[in-house]
Amino acid sequence: MSEFRGYVGKSLEFLKTNKIGVGDSVKILADLTYLGIIMPRYEHSDDKHLVLKLKSGYNIGLEIEKIEKIEKIEKIEKISSPEKSIDKKESLEKNPTLPKILLLSTGGTIASKVDYRTGAVTPVLTAEELNSSVPELAKMANVDAEVLFSEYSENIMPEHWIKIAEKLKEYSNSNYSGIIIAHGTDTMHYTSSFLSFALAGFPIPIALVGSQRSSDRASSDAALNLIGAIKFLVNCKTNGVYIVMHKDENDETVACHMGTRVRKSHTSKRGAFQTIGDNPAFIIVNDQIHRNMKGDFFKVKEFWPRINLNTKVALVKYHPGYDSNLLGKIIEMNYGGIIFEGTGLGHIGKTMYDNVKKANEKGIFLGMTSQCIDGRVRMTVYESGRDLLNLGIIPLENMIPEVALVKAMWALGNSKTLEDVKQLMLLNIASEISE
């Protein structure tokens, strides 16, 4: 029953008594006078509060017992379904002098709108909807929009990476100046890593763009990230895969991070993404694009699509007390690769050594990264590191652990022998190993 979604007990009775439903615009008299829209509640919420979306875009909770009066102001019409939206769209005039940009949506906050009647988040499907919500876009480029799927980023799996890469490959000879992938932020750097390897040498730039805060919030970064991404794609004169997001809390600065050197470093800040070990590859300040990184970012010059992968790779984060039997189970499950996230310069405890030896003898690829945020793996410094080298573990320089995981999946999927895997893992394809 979407009209009272999430409301139970006293709160449900309160709404029914006052003939108020989710999505209604109301005036509430309590300690102050509030104007806003009644929002749905989470499935396991208490029954003592209403949730109200204020005009500013923020949600607040109001205790029912402290509400003196509630009055319905108007009815908010339910947002039409995507199918109806497409049927009723107005044609958007294209400016033939502007460059063309393709936007592929995979879901996430940036490519969505809120239906206040049901609380559902639905994808923005058309260029018309995009341009009506961010009118600045139409002045910079002709944007074509297409939905591949609509998933929260935690639900995007390697099979989705394959679908994205195959779709991008279709546009490798297109007349687009660049391609935007609207993506949820939580696993964006995994997707950008895979695309960097699978589509090495792609002739035009690809920008993964997300939003930390939804478009119905006053502090949303969705529009500014999209605007920054289009400025970058149209003017950067480069190729490769990037993540384009706010650099910090400043609304005038957007950062373009290389897809293999970036990590989400904060849960909620708008400037959540950081290039590890360096400055972002490009910074956009208003209309100026500043290139930070020197030399060639991408070692593969010709388009080199290899879109296979093998997910039988484990990421093992070593810690004191780690049960080596867990590593034994991974070996028994016929995994093809293990990436260790070791301590310091690249170490794991000696209780692991017997199973590391078994894995090496079984022909499993073994790679070492570090739990440290910055710096390189150097396994020759201490005796323990040299022992691990002798057991077959390959040091992966300063590759980020998540990037090493994705690269190992990709390398296994595109190799016939263990030696092939080792060669690909040590080949610096998209600056996953920085100079």
> Is residue 215 included in any domain, yes or no?
yes
Residue with token string 């010059």: 301
- Asked if residue 31 and residue 115 are part of one domain, the reply reads no
Q: Please tell me the least confidently modeled range out of 138-147, 248-257, 262-271, 291-300.
A: 291-300
What is the DSSP secondary-structure string of 178-228? EEEEE--STTHHHHHHHHHHHEET-SSEEEEE--SS-TTSTT--HHHHHHH
Here the tokens at position 59 are: 């949600």
- Asked if residue 387 and residue 345 are part of one domain, the reply reads yes
- Asked if residue 151 and residue 228 are part of one domain, the reply reads yes
CATH number of the domain that 106 lies in? 3.40.50.1170
The burial class, CB within 10 Å (0-12 / 13-18 / 19+), for 243 is buried
> Is residue 434 included in any domain, yes or no?
no
CATH number of the domain that 354 lies in? 3.40.50.40
- pLDDT tens figures, 23-33: 889 999 999 99
Distance in angstroms (rounded) separating the CA atoms of residues 287 and 282: 12
Distance in angstroms (rounded) separating the CA atoms of residues 165 and 163: 5
Residue with token string 């972002």: 280
Of the two residues 433 and 287, the one the predictor is more confident about is 433
User: Choosing from 126, 264, 369, 407, which is the catalytic residue?
Assistant: 264
CA dihedral 297, 298, 302, 304 (to 10 degrees): -150
Which of 305, 337, 358 is a domain's end point?
305
Question: Residue 372: how many CA atoms within 13 Å on its side-chain side?
Answer: 15
Is the CB of residue 314 less than 8 Å from the CB of residue 338?
yes
- Asked if residue 337 and residue 299 are part of one domain, the reply reads no
Question: What local confidence, expressed as pLDDT, does residue 83 receive?
Answer: 40
Contacts of 419 (CB under 8 A, 6+ apart): none
Q: Which of left, alpha, beta for 97 (phi over 0: left; psi -120 to 50: alpha)?
A: alpha
- pLDDT tens figures, 229-269: 999 999 988 999 999 998 887 777 999 999 999 999 999 88
- Decide if pLDDT at 375 tops 60: yes
User: Choosing from 144, 186, 278, 387, which is the catalytic residue?
Assistant: 186
- Decide if pLDDT at 286 tops 90: no
Mean pLDDT of the 286-290 span:
87
Host domain of residue 39: 2-75
Distance in angstroms (rounded) separating the CA atoms of residues 160 and 102: 18
Question: Residue 273: how many CA atoms within 13 Å on its side-chain side?
Answer: 36
Mapping DSSP to helix (H, G, I), strand (E, B) and coil, where does residue 75 land?
strand
CATH number of the domain that 47 lies in? 2.30.30.520
Question: What local confidence, expressed as pLDDT, does residue 287 receive?
Answer: 82
Known catalytic residue: 380?
no
Which of 286, 305, 324 is a domain's end point?
305
- Decide if pLDDT at 108 tops 90: no
Question: What local confidence, expressed as pLDDT, does residue 121 receive?
Answer: 55
- Decide if pLDDT at 130 tops 80: no
- Asked if residue 277 and residue 323 are part of one domain, the reply reads no
Question: What local confidence, expressed as pLDDT, does residue 126 receive?
Answer: 59
> Is residue 12 included in any domain, yes or no?
yes
Of the two residues 39 and 74, the one the predictor is more confident about is 39
> Is residue 432 included in any domain, yes or no?
no
Question: What local confidence, expressed as pLDDT, does residue 131 receive?
Answer: 64
Q: What's the CA angle centered on 20, arms 69 and 24, to 5 degrees?
A: 105
User: Choosing from 106, 109, 187, 191, which is the catalytic residue?
Assistant: 109
**Residue 63 φ/ψ, nearest 5 degrees:** -75, 130
Is the CB of residue 24 less than 8 Å from the CB of residue 14?
no
- pLDDT tens figures, 151-208: 888 999 999 999 999 999 999 999 999 999 999 899 999 999 999 999 999 999 999 9
- Decide if pLDDT at 84 tops 70: no
DSSP H helices, 266-417, are 324-332, 353-361, 383-390, 401-413
Of the two residues 361 and 222, the one the predictor is more confident about is 361
| Range among 18-22, 126-130, 301-305, 355-359 rated most confident | 355-359
Known catalytic residue: 264?
yes
Of the two residues 211 and 331, the one the predictor is more confident about is 331
- What pTM did the predictor assign? 0.83
**Closest to 63 (Cα-Cα) out of 84, 91, 32, 22:** 32
- Name the DSSP letter for residue 90: P
> Is residue 104 included in any domain, yes or no?
yes
> Is residue 404 included in any domain, yes or no?
yes
Is the CB of residue 37 less than 8 Å from the CB of residue 53?
yes
Known catalytic residue: 238?
no
Known catalytic residue: 109?
yes
Mean pLDDT of the 381-398 span:
97
Which of 252, 273, 305 is a domain's end point?
305
- Asked if residue 14 and residue 95 are part of one domain, the reply reads no
What is the enclosing helix (H) or strand (E) of 121?
strand 121-123
User: Choosing from 113, 115, 126, 185, which is the catalytic residue?
Assistant: 185
- pLDDT tens figures, 335-370: 999 999 999 999 999 999 999 999 999 999 999 999
Reported confidence tier of residue 76, pLDDT bands at 50, 70, 90: very low
- Decide if pLDDT at 222 tops 80: no
User: Percent of the chain at pLDDT above 70?
Assistant: 85
Mean pLDDT score of the chain: 87
- Asked if residue 259 and residue 365 are part of one domain, the reply reads no
Q: Please tell me the least confidently modeled range out of 291-300, 308-317, 369-378.
A: 291-300
Residue with token string 């610096």: 428
Distance in angstroms (rounded) separating the CA atoms of residues 105 and 149: 7
- Asked if residue 92 and residue 23 are part of one domain, the reply reads no
> Is residue 435 included in any domain, yes or no?
no
- Asked if residue 399 and residue 298 are part of one domain, the reply reads no
Q: How many domains does the chain have?
A: 3
- Asked if residue 174 and residue 281 are part of one domain, the reply reads yes
Question: What local confidence, expressed as pLDDT, does residue 213 receive?
Answer: 66
Reported confidence tier of residue 304, pLDDT bands at 50, 70, 90: confident
Q: Rounded to whole angstroms, what are the CA distances from 90 to 129, 131, 133, 146, 320?
A: 9, 11, 14, 17, 61
**Residue 254 φ/ψ, nearest 5 degrees:** -120, 140
- pLDDT tens figures, 35-60: 988 888 876 678 899 988 887 667 88
- Asked if residue 325 and residue 243 are part of one domain, the reply reads no
> Is residue 433 included in any domain, yes or no?
no
- Asked if residue 263 and residue 130 are part of one domain, the reply reads yes
Reported confidence tier of residue 79, pLDDT bands at 50, 70, 90: very low
Reported confidence tier of residue 217, pLDDT bands at 50, 70, 90: low
